[in-house]
Structure 1
Amino acid sequence: MKFIRATLAIILIISSSSCKKETKKEEKIAPKKVIEKKIDSVKPKVVKEVPKEKPWDSLNHKNVTAFLTEYGKQNKETKVVIKTKYGSIKLRLYNETPLHRASFVFLSKIGYFDKTVFHRIAGDMAIQGGESDGQESTDIKNKYKNYRIPAEMSDKRKHVYGSLALARQLDYNPYKKSNPFNFYIISTKRGAPHLDGDYTVFGEVISGFSTVRKISKVKTGRSDWPIVDIPMTITVLD
């Protein structure tokens, strides 16, 4: 009997201990619920969205091809009009020279050429535009790091009457990269075949030849700069 009583006592002690342990476990649950409620009551942080950089602000001398290729896909216009006090000149840009076309459309749309003039009348051979005495055009060039365009010359595109091409730096330019800020239009019916293979022709005059001729006859001073400035505006059509 003593053995049985002792055994029962041990069982009761073990049962009592396990109950206590379970009670302690249950007591630990309540604080967790309180914590969860506190967490739920905290308002989430509002993350301000950083405004995306304007696409044209990324253009520089290192990413010219990639930028102009993408810009050309999104801006497929091939016609522009130059307006001057002598009349208008309508131009068609070639898709076969995608980088030059995209660059000319880009600079026209941001208003670069509207801040420039026809700054050189090369005899009756060509009229040249894209420079200015003002600071605004210089600021735009600096903003885009004076980028240059890889040559896109073709035997099919010659310097004939009304051809549109870009000027370029002659020295230290073995790949004949074009200056996007400086264009010229052939103003003589003889054309300028001696320029073929050295400069990229990327468009042509489709109307306004009379305006081209008028500009080609103005009086010039030093460096063939017209004595009276010939400002311009260029509008992208379609």
Structure 2
Amino acid sequence: MKILIVVLSFVLTTITVKSQSAFVRFETNKGNITVMLYDKTPKHRDMFLKSVKQGLYKNAEFNRVIKAFVSQGGELDDTILNREKRHPELGTKRFPAEIKPGVFHKKGTLGAGRDDNPEKASYFSQLYFVVGKVQTDAQLDAVELKKKKKFSAAEREIYKTIGGTPHLDGDYTIFGEIVAGMDVADAINAVATNKDDVPLSPVVFNVVVISKKDALKIRKTM
């Protein structure tokens, strides 16, 4: 049964990759990471692509790295919140959440950061890659009990084999996943940091939108 679940999960992932329309490349000083943006979260996909084209993620940094949890890039919470405090006339700008069933915090997913707003709306300028940990059945049972939710058999198997951060499910928008370069994402998550989780040496990145022609090539190899 377990083998069947893993096979079905692989097949579903392959089908998902082949059907997606947008891919981007994170060019970092640790190597490149190719990311598939989910069509299932079209508003975040389009918001992110617009931000990339506007240069928001040019010479950006992974500025908060928590080992075996997430690698966060873009603007820090304090930067965003302090700017809003200094300029109340600009208002508080958040992007409506797109938290969808079946889109979960497995290792390698790309999420949008946010503050503690009750709508779970995202920042426009902060993202994170999930690294997380391999989970046990007992740990997943505890998350289900606390969050009053139920993991599907496929989700449970992925968390037990690939890993991730299941306690974030339902609270943050996930809008993409790594399809190449997970070793680079792991290397970023392993860098030395200070007590505030800031890398001791800057981890710089640029995001480039992959052309439709090259995206088609990626889909054909999956």
TM surpasses 0.5: yes
For the residue of structure 2 that corresponds to 1:223, the secondary structure is coil
- The structural deviation recorded for 1:112 is 0.7
Task: Give the one of 158, 177, 183 matched to 1:204.
Answer: 177
Matched to 2:119, the amino acid is Y
Does structure 1 residue 85 correspond to structure 2 residue 22? Answer: no
Structure 2 CA distance for aligned equivalents of residues 145 and 86 of structure 1: 37
Residue number in structure 1 paired with 2:131? 187
Asked whether the equivalents of residues 131 and 165 of structure 2 are also in contact (C-alpha less than 8 Å), the reply is: no
Structure 1 unmatched runs, 5+: 1-75
- The structural deviation recorded for 1:177 is 0.3
- The structural deviation recorded for 1:94 is 0.9
Matched to 1:81, the amino acid is R
Aligned-residue identity in percent: 33
Structure 1 CA distance for aligned equivalents of residues 196 and 43 of structure 2: 29
* Residue deviations 1:44-68 (CA, integer Å, cap 9, x gap): xxxxxxxxxxxxxxxxxxxxxxxxx
Asked whether the equivalents of residues 84 and 232 of structure 1 are also in contact (C-alpha less than 8 Å), the reply is: yes
Does structure 1 residue 102 correspond to structure 2 residue 46? Answer: yes
* Residue deviations 1:13-54 (CA, integer Å, cap 9, x gap): xxxxxxxxxxxxxxxxxxxxxxxxxxxxxxxxxxxxxxxxxx
- Provide the aligned C-alpha RMSD in A: 2.3
Residue number in structure 2 paired with 1:228? 201
- The structural deviation recorded for 1:115 is 3.6
Matched to 1:85, the amino acid is N
TM-score, normalised to structure 2, is: 0.64
Residue number in structure 2 paired with 1:219? 192
Asked whether the equivalents of residues 77 and 105 of structure 1 are also in contact (C-alpha less than 8 Å), the reply is: no
Distance 1:77 1:126, change over 3 A: same
Structure 1 CA distance for aligned equivalents of residues 43 and 196 of structure 2: 29
- The structural deviation recorded for 1:121 is 0.7
Residue number in structure 2 paired with 1:153? 99
- The structural deviation recorded for 1:187 is 1.6
Residue number in structure 2 paired with 1:178? 122
Asked whether the equivalents of residues 100 and 180 of structure 1 are also in contact (C-alpha less than 8 Å), the reply is: no
Structure 2 unmatched runs, 5+: 1-19, 133-161, 213-222
Structure 2 CA distance for aligned equivalents of residues 200 and 77 of structure 1: 19
Asked whether the equivalents of residues 57 and 206 of structure 2 are also in contact (C-alpha less than 8 Å), the reply is: yes
Residue number in structure 1 paired with 2:67? 123
Q: Higher RCO, 1 or 2 (CA under 8 Å, sep at least 6)?
A: 2
Matched to 1:187, the amino acid is V
Structure with greater Cα Rg: 1
For the residue of structure 2 that corresponds to 1:112, the secondary structure is coil
Instruction: List structure 1 runs of 4+ shifted beyond 2 angstroms.
Output: 144-147
* Residue deviations 1:129-171 (CA, integer Å, cap 9, x gap): 0027xx9xx99xx8x976311111012101001011101111x
Asked whether the equivalents of residues 166 and 179 of structure 1 are also in contact (C-alpha less than 8 Å), the reply is: yes
Distance 1:228 1:145, change over 3 A: farther
